[in-house]
Amino acid sequence: SGDNGRTECAIEGDVPFSLTAAFANHYELRTSAALDRETTAEYNVSIVATDWGRARLSARESVSVRVGDVNDNAPRFTQAAYSMSVSENEAGAVRIGSVKATDADAGANGRVRYALVREEGEERPAVSVDAESGDVSVVRPLDYEEVRAVEVRVRAADGGSPPRSATALLRVLVRDENDNAPVVLHPPADGGAALGELVPRRARAGYLVAKVVAVDADAGQNAWLCYELAKATEPGLFRVGLHSGEVRTARAVGERDAARHRLVVLVRDRGRPPRSASATLAVALADGFSEGHLRASEEAPAAEPDGRLTLYLSVCLACVSALFVAGAAAAVAAKVRRARRGEPGTLPTFPHSAADSSAGSLPRSYVYDVRLAAGTVNSEFRFLGPLFPCFPAGLPQGAAEQRSSLCSAGLGPEEGDWAVQVRQRSAADRGPREGGREGEAAGLVSERFPERDERGRWSRCSRWSLGFSPCSGCPRLCVWLRARCGCCG
């Protein structure tokens, strides 16, 4: 009792705990700092109790303190970015690697699961990740010529509440395989260069004939191409560049060399296993371009005619012909219309035949005009002129042949302004008693012109010989003579 029964307690060591007196000889163990289970999961606390007696006695006791876990840590990937590779055309479900993430928490808080991060509407990626182990595998074959690399993001999440997560970049590289053969671009394989290449007969060694162009869709050494001459009509005349593909003459072309050559060039890549393609060249030796071109053209396949082009040409030709015919017809119609508008009111020609001598008319070749010059009324000179008939346009053709108008429309009363038409008849038309009359040789039937007296009237009129009367040939002249002098009839 007394001081010997009085005790005190203390903690030994540097631990984040402390003792607090609750009541007599009772103490509470409290934390003096924040505890981190990930740093120290368990503490051993040594507590020493000592009395207050003269010879102090003590006792020691150890207390084990375990720190409980809370989900205060997110998973962590071992790498921020993972890079893997896979061969193209690799079958699906092949493991190509794995990702790893850890969580410092315990229990469910430290259990990590993996998944790919996919955006909304994005197609399914070509790789997948195992949720528990993090193993990465391809789900379908990849083609290097289409996809060189695949990039996705992987999420690692724990099972705490609320869960914590982290992401990492996953890059899958596609390794190229020699799965593509070389493709020859020139010369084309479809025979587009059927005419071939022309080489002059005087070509020297090293003359460039053609160049074979090829490509390979693979990469690296799988796309490295080499060229070699696999077959030739005349070996030794041509050579091919190993890496350039240039076809050149290996020697000078001779006169004895064949005119046509066929070369087969082999194009090969350096893949494993190697793939190859071939190109065929047609070479023609010619002294001139025209000769070689014609010789090569003889063996070239004839191109099929274009039916549509022929149809178009035929339609165009028909249209042009129709336009030409229409234009010619329009021109002829216009010319005829203008000719009709310019026709005179009289008949264009003298009647083809005249009535016989009994009707008082003669053929056209014997008809003349007798005219007087002005001021020479009493003159015995007479002027003969061709007769211009004045038949009305509406006169029928039969009536014109029976009665020919022999008078001029311009007869007038003035001196020298009028004319009397006479006829010249041939010897066949004259009777037997007409042969001895004056003027028989000339065939004239009129003697003189009428004269006027002092009172202005006609004193006498001409006398007609050979039995010819003006009234029988020209009624209009007869009417005019009656009105002037009353001598006709």
Say if 117 falls within a structural domain.
Answer: yes
Say if 132 falls within a structural domain.
Answer: yes
Task: Give dist(CA 337, CA 347) in Å, integer.
Answer: 18
- Who has greater pLDDT, 14 or 353? 14
Tokens of 360: 């008082």
Residues 266 and 193 in one domain: yes
Strands 367-371 and 135-138: unpaired
- The full DSSP string for 357-393 is GGGT---GGGEEEEE--TT-TT----EEEE-----BT
**Cis bond upstream, residue 141 (ω within 30):** no
Whole-number percent of the chain with pLDDT over 70: 64
Residues 198 and 271 in one domain: yes
Q: What is the distance, to the nearest Å, from the Cα of residue 107 to the centroid of all Cα atoms in its chain?
A: 73
Closest CA to 75 of 36, 45, 57, 102: 102
pLDDT tens across 142-173, in order? Answer: 999 899 999 999 999 999 888 999 999 999 99
Q: Give the pLDDT of residue 279.
A: 94
Residues 142 and 164 in one domain: yes
Say if 220 falls within a structural domain.
Answer: yes
- The full DSSP string for 67-91 is PPP-S----EES-SEEEEEEETTPP
Element (H, E) at 199: strand 197-200
Residue/partner pairs of 32-38 with CB below 8 Å, 24 or more apart? 35/67, 36/67, 37/67, 37/68, 37/69, 37/70, 37/106, 38/73, 38/104, 38/105
Say if 14 falls within a structural domain.
Answer: yes
Q: The domain spanning residue 221 has which CATH number?
A: 2.60.40.60
Q: What is the distance, to the nearest Å, from the Cα of residue 156 to the centroid of all Cα atoms in its chain?
A: 58
Element (H, E) at 310: helix 307-341
Residues 256 and 157 in one domain: no
Closest CA to 184 of 82, 76, 275: 275
CA distances from 32 to 11, 18, 29 (A): 12, 6, 9
Q: Give the pLDDT of residue 158.
A: 94
Tokens of 70: 């809370």
Instruction: Read off the DSSP letter of residue 446.
Output: B
Mean pLDDT value of segment 282-308: 60
Q: Which residue range forms the structural domain that includes residue 135?
A: 76-175
Say if 346 falls within a structural domain.
Answer: no
Residues 196 and 277 in one domain: yes
Evaluate if residue 16 carries a pLDDT over 80: yes
Say if 405 falls within a structural domain.
Answer: yes
Helix, strand or coil, per DSSP, at residue 351 = coil
Residues 105 and 217 in one domain: no
Residues 136 and 50 in one domain: no
Residues 86 and 170 in one domain: yes
Evaluate if residue 379 carries a pLDDT over 80: no
Q: Give the pLDDT of residue 370.
A: 47
Whole-number percent of the chain with pLDDT over 90: 39
Task: Give dist(CA 233, CA 229) in Å, integer.
Answer: 11
Residues 135 and 197 in one domain: no
Say if 223 falls within a structural domain.
Answer: yes
Which of 147, 175, 203 is the last residue before a domain boundary?
Answer: 175
pTM, to two decimals: 0.48
Which of 38, 66, 94 is the last residue before a domain boundary?
Answer: 66
Residues 212 and 144 in one domain: no
Tokens of 459: 């004193």
pLDDT tier at 192, thresholds 50, 70, 90: low
Tokens of 189: 């394989």
Task: Give dist(CA 115, CA 111) in Å, integer.
Answer: 14
Q: Categorise residue 466: left if φ over 0, alpha if ψ from -120 to 50, beta otherwise.
A: left
Residues 279, 263 contacting (CB under 8 angstroms) = no
Strands 276-286 and 197-200: parallel
Cβ neighbours for 259, distance < 8 A, ≥ 6 positions apart: 284, 285, 286, 295
Q: Give the pLDDT of residue 330.
A: 92
pLDDT tier at 74, thresholds 50, 70, 90: very high
Which of 15, 32, 66 is the last residue before a domain boundary?
Answer: 66
Residues 44 and 136 in one domain: no
Residue-level length of the chain? 489
Closest CA to 405 of 425, 387, 382, 384: 387
Residues 423, 362 contacting (CB under 8 angstroms) = yes
Q: Give the pLDDT of residue 153.
A: 95
Output the furthest CA–CA distance in the chain (Å, rounded).
Answer: 220
Mean pLDDT value of segment 59-76: 90
Residues 477, 370 contacting (CB under 8 angstroms) = no
Say if 452 falls within a structural domain.
Answer: yes
The structural domain count of the chain equals: 4
Task: Give dist(CA 158, CA 74) in Å, integer.
Answer: 7
Evaluate if residue 80 carries a pLDDT over 70: yes
pLDDT tens across 227-270, in order? Answer: 999 999 999 999 999 999 999 999 999 888 999 999 999 999 99
Three-point CA angle 434, 439, 443, nearest 5°: 75
- What number of other Cβ atoms are within 10 A of residue 351's Cβ? 22
Mean pLDDT for all residues in the chain: 75
Cβ neighbours for 398, distance < 8 A, ≥ 6 positions apart: none
pLDDT tens across 436-488, in order? Answer: 444 443 344 444 444 444 444 444 444 444 444 555 555 555 555 566 555 55
Residues 130 and 200 in one domain: no
Task: Give dist(CA 423, CA 427) in Å, integer.
Answer: 13
Cβ neighbours for 23, distance < 8 A, ≥ 6 positions apart: none
